Each structure stands twice: as structure tokens, then as C-alpha cells.
A and B are shown apart, each in its own frame.
Chain A
Amino acid sequence: TQLLEQSPQFLSIQEGENLTVYCNSSSVFSSLQWYRQEPGEGPVLLVTVVTGGEVKKLKRLTFQFGDARKDSSLHITAAQPGDTGLYLCASDTGRRALTFGSGTRLQVQP
């Protein structure tokens, strides 16, 4: 079973700061998805990356997929309190079900 390691586990920053969170595996991802989950709600898909070296942008969020497709990063520019939540990476690892990392819990203080 492919394990996805996310770092850091917890991040508390001030509004306006930049941050990067990481997702790593010892195995190659077939594809990778990033989700955000708020307390009491289900995960919401942010992006899917498929091609090694791919970069996708979603407003202030930039997602990068490693060239070898074993790692990915999420960079947030000028974080806002609304960015607060649990950021999860997930891969289908060739199966239909998703394997999730344990997440990075982000707290953005106003």
C-alpha cells in the first residue's frame, strides 16, 4: 500500500504570509489530488495533477507535481483566514479508491 506523507502536520501563520505544504511518497503516483476539509464537512477537491512537472494555479494557490511523480507541493500566497482548514493529498494508487495522507492543518490568524 502506498503511503503518503504530508508535512508539516500543523501550521499556524498570520494573515498575509506565504506558506508551502508537501506531500511525498516512496512510490510513483498515477495521479495526485489535493483536497481542503473544514471542520464538520467533507473534503472538497481543489485540483488533480497527472503529469510530472505539472504546475496548476487556483487563484492564490499553486500546485506543483514533482518530475518523478513522487512528490507534490501546495503553495499559498498571501494567506487569508478563509484558507484555514485541513489540506489533504490523495492518490488513487491505481485502485479506484483514494489513499489519503494524514493532512496539514492550517490556521491563518487575522
Chain B
Amino acid sequence: DTGVSQNPRHKITKRGQNVTFRCDPISEHNRLYWYRQTLGQGPEFLTYFQNEAQLEKSRLLSDRFSAERPKGSFSTLEIQRTEQGDSAMYLCASSQLNQPQHFGDGTRLSIL
């Protein structure tokens, strides 16, 4: 399968813990995006990379959130000191220049 891969698919953690998600984009795609989707809503943009450079961050991305794409391939999204409101589906997408985005199946985060 050469689609966008996200791990883990589901993460359950206690409030206050740190969590990290991984996204492996389609190999030739140089753009990578993170979105968050809560129940009953469409995805909301969090941040975007072109190669290894983080070019845009949403105001939704608080100081507790950090994303990296160190070698311009896979990306990680870390949430520190998780809160109840962080419970959501975290979606990763990738694309080539000016081409449609392809989404992974997401990581569902549940905060106890």
C-alpha cells in the first residue's frame, strides 16, 4: 500500500500525559499537512510542511503542540500535557506541488 500511513490508529491516554503520532506520506510528496477533526465537524488545519520546513501553523496549534518533519519524509505530531479538549481524530495528508491532498486514516486520540 503506497498511501498515507498513520500510527497509531488509536491512542488512549490519561489527561496530562504526552502523546506522539507519526505520519508517513506518499513517498514522492513534498508537502505534508496535519488536521484535527472533532465529532460532527470537518477537519481543521493545524500545520503544513514543504519538505522539512514548517511553513504555516494554525492558531489552533497551541504551545503544547509541536510538529516536526526532520528529513522531509515522515512527520511527528506531539501533544504535551494533554487535556480533555484534545480528544479528536488527527489526520495527516500529503501532496505534490499544486496537486490534491491524499489523507491517511487518522489517529483517534481519547483522553481519559
Q: Across the interface, which residues of A come within 8 angstroms of B102, CB to CB?
A: 45
**Which of B89-107 touch A at CB < 8 Å?**
91, 93, 100-106
A100, B43: Cβ atoms closer than 8 Å: yes
Residues of B contacting A44 with CB < 8 Å? 103
Given A44-B103, A45-B102, A48-B100, A103-B41 contact (CB < 8 Å): yes
How would residues 21 to 54 of chain B score, 1 for a CB under 8 Å from any chain A CB and 0 otherwise? 0000000000101010000111111001000000
Of A11-19, A54-62, A91-99, the stretch lying at the interface with chain B is: A91-99
Out of A4, A43, A48, A103, which one reaches B103, CB within 8 Å? A43
For B44, list chain A residues within 8 Å (CB).
100
Q: Which of B33, B40, B42 contacts A97 (CB 8 A)?
A: B33
Chain A residues, Cβ within 8 Å of B101: 45, 98
Q: B104 near A90 (CB under 8 angstroms)?
A: no
Q: Give the complex CA separation of A48 and B95 in angstroms.
A: 14
In the complex formed, the residue of B with least CB distance to A33 is B100
Within the complex, which residue of A4, A42, A103 is in contact with B91, where a contact is CB–CB below 8 Å?
Answer: A42
CA distance A88 to B35 in the complex (A): 14
Contact A40 B42 (CB under 8 A): no
- Across the interface, B48 reaches (CB within 8 A) one of A4, A41, A88, A96, namely A96
Q: Are A41 and B31 in contact, CB atoms less than 8 angstroms apart?
A: no
Interfacial chain A residues near B103, Cβ < 8 Å: 35, 42-44
Q: Name B's A-contacting residues (CB within 8 A).
A: 4, 31, 33, 35, 40-45, 48, 55-56, 58, 91, 93, 100-106, 108
Given A96-B31, A97-B45, A97-B56, 5 more A-B residue pairs with CB atoms under 8 Å apart are A33-B100, A41-B105, A48-B100, A96-B33, A96-B55
